[in-house]
Amino acid sequence: MSYTIKKLLDHRSIRKFKSDPVSEEQLREILNAAQAASTSNNMQAYSIITVRDYKLKEQLAELSGNQQSIKNCPLFLVWCADLYRTNVALSEKYPHIQAAGSVEHLISSTVDTSLAAQNAVIAAESLGLGIVYIGGIRNDIDQVAKLLNLPKLVYPVFGLCIGVPNEEPVLRPRLSHQIVVHENYYNSHNYKEFIQKYDSVNKEYTKRRSNGKESGSWTSKLAEKLSRPRRENLKDGLANRGFYL
């Protein structure tokens, strides 16, 4: 097995970090790796905000659901889908052509952002650093946009905490290939059987990770998450940013 595959299979979310800083050299390598990712039509429709200022991290942590990881990590990156820069590029010679915030452009810029971020994650982990994605950055994209001075047609997709790990959590089990990978056609025939097995494995994982304090299954966690509405203001927030669904 190659070193790269080993690192990928060893991935886990890190929420506790040492105080050691992420060096400028490490950051440069991480960002170079990010920009090497695939991108739709070479639009490179994303921007990355690096945040080290503690007060700003505190504000972003509060907006993201009071997530301590943001305050405690030495480096926080906010990954933004960005069509604004595309329009700046077009404005002088092609003012009649604009990258509107259509559903297609929303999806393609979000995909561009995600591909670049995952490259950054792999690079960071190869350097011995740990990461955790922060989807809570979308809790109030209007306020995040104000804090970070984001122009129209730019929205925060997620945040990324990076730093030297100060924990070694148990590796989280994944669903079986047998219900994730489909050959030629989609086949849900054995879903219930494999989901029951995965629930059992996940209960043991949860017990171990929480030192016996919790024992929830995968489906019970899904039910908990999906039983209450989340980010109901997101559609309006995207519209305020210039993206229309």
For the chain, the domain total comes to: 2
Which of 45-61 are b and which e, b meaning 16 or more Cβ less than 10 Å from the residue's Cβ? Answer: bbbbbebeeeebbebbb
User: pTM value?
Assistant: 0.95
pLDDT > 70: what percent of the chain?
100
pLDDT band at 99 (very low <50, low <70, confident <90, very high): confident
Same domain, 198 and 160: no
pLDDT band at 245 (very low <50, low <70, confident <90, very high): confident
- The last residue of one of the domains, among 169, 203, 231, is 169
What is the rounded distance in angstroms from the CA atom of residue 160 to the CA atom of residue 113? 12
Task: Give all strands of the β-sheet with 154-163 in edge-to-edge order.
Answer: 46-51, 75-82, 154-163, 130-134
- Residues paired with 81 in a beta bridge: 46, 155
Same domain, 119 and 23: yes
Mean pLDDT of the residues in the chain = 95
Query: What is the pLDDT averaged over residues 53-80?
Result: 97
Same domain, 224 and 240: yes
Same domain, 108 and 229: no
What is the rounded distance in angstroms from the CA atom of residue 159 to the CA atom of residue 136? 8
Same domain, 187 and 155: no
Same domain, 138 and 200: no
- The last residue of one of the domains, among 130, 153, 169, is 169
Do 123 and 29 contact (CB within 8 A), yes or no? Answer: yes
Residue with tokens 């650093």: 129
Confidence check: pLDDT of 210 > 90: no
- The last residue of one of the domains, among 169, 193, 226, is 169
- The pLDDT value recorded for residue 228 is 87
- The domain spanning residue 137 has which CATH number? 3.40.109.10
Same domain, 164 and 209: no
What is the distance of C-alpha 9 from the center of its chain?
18
Same domain, 139 and 154: yes
- The pLDDT value recorded for residue 69 is 97
Query: What is the pLDDT averaged over residues 144-150?
Result: 98
The count of residues in the chain is: 245
Q: Which amino acid is at 169?
A: P
Q: Which domain holds residue 239?
A: 172-245
Confidence check: pLDDT of 61 > 80: yes
Tens-digit pLDDT profile for residues 100-142: 889 999 999 999 999 999 999 999 999 999 999 999 999 999 9
- The pLDDT value recorded for residue 238 is 95
